């Protein structure tokens, strides 16, 4: 696998991103399009309150796809029947403007909840997007920019693998920020590839990759109504088909996993108000499920997050969050180690608190990116979760007028 430093447009795809007037003076609509029919896969929020575009996408998951149309600034969530009609209309307009089958577009929305889409602007936007599609990397950057809300930077990742003698590229972009505690999917994330692969295999891989990437991050414990992760693959690399059980499948999965993981970590680093990136690793758990529960519980705890804000080696709160995670483990055999680029320090060993230098701990925890390792003696399973600290800015941003 080669990691592409800049986003690379997979063969046969075009993109566009522009300002349609939904938000104030920032790009707010994006489109992805492939002339060739695509295999596709998707995972969606498990929130019982699903936004209209999520419900629509779930209903058309099975049909061949040509593209995705996205708006930011308005989530089209909790918008009753009118919202459902708008989502469908948005997808069908995109399809008709490019003369493809009407169920061959996905539609995604992100932004404020409970307000109907400004359909006139949306319709004009779709027309403009269709006529501005381009295969340049800049067009992809425009699309990646247009889906952002309170994000402070674009989230992009790209990798290329060899299938036979052909280059196969996977390129993804995402938006995150607040209301981040994905369950079966994340905010909005899109991966496009010129791989030749079936929808069934793509869906299987996506499900498994999302479990260890997007489903292991948390900004604030709130699972959004719009979480969607979509993958399109158009086969335009002209490579042979990636088959289940082949070496190529392994390579493709590694690349997909890399793209999703990179996007997930970028979302966490750009969490609303986040000042510090937190990684929580659990080793020696009885089962993978236990390891995940433990890691997610720690990274989601307000008290742990506030302690990281204060660079405080408050291991008691970490143990406490492990305790209420619902996972099975033996607290009397836990060891806890903090680390960062400045070094590492063990603070709790085999269930016993250690004396440690508070100064050294503070120095380690003042870094922008810090890590906790919890070593158990219950088995062989491990998991990692990612999150951010709880800051004044998080409260300020979310205590402000509706965002």
Measure Cα distances from 208 to 49, 212, 350 in Å.
24, 7, 33
In the bound state with a second copy, the residue whose beta carbon lies nearer, of 188 and 256, is 188
Phi and psi at 285, nearest 5°, equal: -80, 160
Q: What SS3 state is found at 296?
A: helix
* Residue 117 is a binding residue for a second copy (CB under 8 A): no
Q: Mark the segment that binds a second copy (CB under 8 A) among 40-48, 144-152, 196-204, 257-265.
A: 40-48
Nearest Cα neighbor of 254 from 321, 313, 312, 209 is: 209
* Residue 396 is a binding residue for a second copy (CB under 8 A): yes
Nearest distance from residue 52's CB to a second copy, in Å? 12
Beta bridge partners of 16: 31
Binding residue for a second copy (CB under 8 A) from 353, 366, 369, 380?
353
Binding residue for a second copy (CB under 8 A) from 348, 364, 375, 382?
348
Nearest distance from residue 279's CB to a second copy, in Å? 19
Binding residue for a second copy (CB under 8 A) from 242, 322, 372, 373?
322
Binding residue for a second copy (CB under 8 A) from 34, 39, 79, 384?
79
Q: Mark the segment that binds a second copy (CB under 8 A) among 34-42, 44-52, 234-242, 379-387.
A: 44-52
Q: Mark the segment that binds a second copy (CB under 8 A) among 77-85, 130-138, 150-158, 245-253.
A: 77-85
Q: Mark the segment that binds a second copy (CB under 8 A) among 17-25, 91-99, 113-121, 244-252.
A: 113-121
Secondary structure E strands in 9-137: 13-18, 29-44, 65-74, 105-112
Q: Is 224 exposed, middle or buried (0-12, 13-18, 19+ CB in 10 A)?
A: buried
* Residue 5 is a binding residue for a second copy (CB under 8 A): no
Nearest distance from residue 18's CB to a second copy, in Å? 26
Cβ within 8 Å of residue 24, ≥6 positions away = none
Phi and psi at 333, nearest 5°, equal: -125, 20
* Residue 359 is a binding residue for a second copy (CB under 8 A): no
Measure Cα distances from 270 to 18, 176, 224 in Å.
22, 7, 16
Q: Is 38 exposed, middle or buried (0-12, 13-18, 19+ CB in 10 A)?
A: buried
Distance CA 331, CA 322 (A): 9
CA 332 to chain centre: 35
CA 68 to chain centre: 17
* Residue 284 is a binding residue for a second copy (CB under 8 A): no
* Residue 266 is a binding residue for a second copy (CB under 8 A): no
Distance CA 356, CA 21 (A): 56
Q: Which position among 79, 110, 186, 223 bears the catalytic label?
A: 186
Count of residues in the chain: 403
Nearest distance from residue 98's CB to a second copy, in Å? 32
In the bound state with a second copy, the residue whose beta carbon lies nearer, of 142 and 270, is 270
In the bound state with a second copy, the residue whose beta carbon lies nearer, of 56 and 309, is 309
Q: Mark the segment that binds a second copy (CB under 8 A) among 64-72, 117-125, 134-142, 298-306.
A: 298-306
Distance CA 185, CA 150 (A): 19
Nearest distance from residue 274's CB to a second copy, in Å? 13
Q: What SS3 state is found at 260?
A: helix
* Residue 400 is a binding residue for a second copy (CB under 8 A): yes
Q: Using CB under 8 A, which residues numbered 366 to 395 contact a second copy?
A: 390-392, 394-395
* Residue 301 is a binding residue for a second copy (CB under 8 A): yes
Phi and psi at 297, nearest 5°, equal: -65, -40
* Residue 250 is a binding residue for a second copy (CB under 8 A): no
Secondary structure E strands in 176-334: 188-193, 217-218, 228-233, 277-285
Q: Is 262 a known active-site residue?
A: no
DSSP 55: H
Distance CA 85, CA 186 (A): 24
In the bound state with a second copy, the residue whose beta carbon lies nearer, of 64 and 320, is 320
- Return residues touching a second copy (CB under 8 A): 46-50, 75, 77-80, 112-115, 178-179, 181, 183, 220-225, 300-303, 306-307, 309-310, 312, 314-317, 319-325, 327-329, 331-332, 348, 351-353, 390-392, 394-402
Active site positions, annotated: 186
């Amino acid at each position: 696998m080669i990691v592409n430093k800049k986003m690379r447009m997979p063969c046969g795809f075009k993109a566009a991103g522009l300002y349609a007037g939904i938000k104030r003076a920032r790009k707010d609509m994006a489109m992805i399009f492939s002339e060739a029919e695509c295999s596709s896969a998707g995972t969606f929020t498990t929130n019982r309150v699903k936004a209209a575009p999520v419900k629509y996408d779930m209903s058309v998951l099975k049909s061949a796809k040509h593209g995705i149309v996205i708006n930011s600034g308005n989530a089209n969530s909790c918008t009753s029947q009118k919202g459902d009609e708008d989502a469908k209309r948005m997808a069908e307009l995109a399809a008709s403007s490019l003369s493809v089958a009407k169920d061959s577009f996905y539609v995604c929305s992100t932004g404020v909840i409970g307000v109907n889409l400004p359909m006139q602007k949306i319709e004009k936007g779709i027309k403009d997007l269709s006529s501005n599609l381009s295969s340049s990397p800049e067009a992809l950057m425009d699309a990646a920019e247009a889906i952002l809300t309170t994000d402070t930077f674009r989230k992009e990742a790209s990798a290329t693998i060899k299938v036979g003698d052909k280059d196969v590229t996977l390129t993804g972009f995402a938006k995150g920020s607040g209301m981040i505690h994905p369950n079966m999917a994340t905010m909005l994330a899109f991966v496009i590839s010129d791989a030749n692969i079936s929808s069934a295999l793509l869906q299987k891989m996506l499900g498994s990759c999302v479990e260890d990437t997007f489903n292991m991050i948390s900004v604030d414990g709130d699972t959004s109504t719009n979480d969607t992760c979509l993958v399109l693959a158009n086969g335009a690399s002209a490579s042979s088909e990636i088959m289940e059980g082949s070496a190529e499948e392994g390579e493709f999965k590694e690349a997909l996993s890399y793209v999703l993981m990179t996007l997930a970590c970028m979302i966490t680093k750009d969490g609303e108000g986040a000042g510090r990136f937190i990684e929580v690793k659990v080793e020696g758990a009885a089962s993978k499920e236990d390891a995940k529960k433990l890691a997610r519980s720690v990274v989601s705890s307000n008290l742990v997050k506030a302690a990281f804000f204060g660079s405080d080696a408050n291991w008691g709160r970490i143990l406490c969050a492990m305790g209420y995670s619902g996972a099975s483990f033996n607290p009397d055999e836990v060891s806890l180690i903090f680390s960062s680029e400045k070094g590492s320090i063990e603070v709790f060993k085999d269930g016993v608190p250690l004396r440690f230098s508070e100064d050294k701990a503070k120095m380690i925890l003042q870094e922008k990116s810090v890590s906790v390792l919890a070593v158990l003696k219950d088995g062989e399973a491990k998991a990692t979760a990612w999150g951010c600290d709880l800051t004044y800015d998080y409260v300020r941003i979310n205590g402000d007028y509706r965002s």
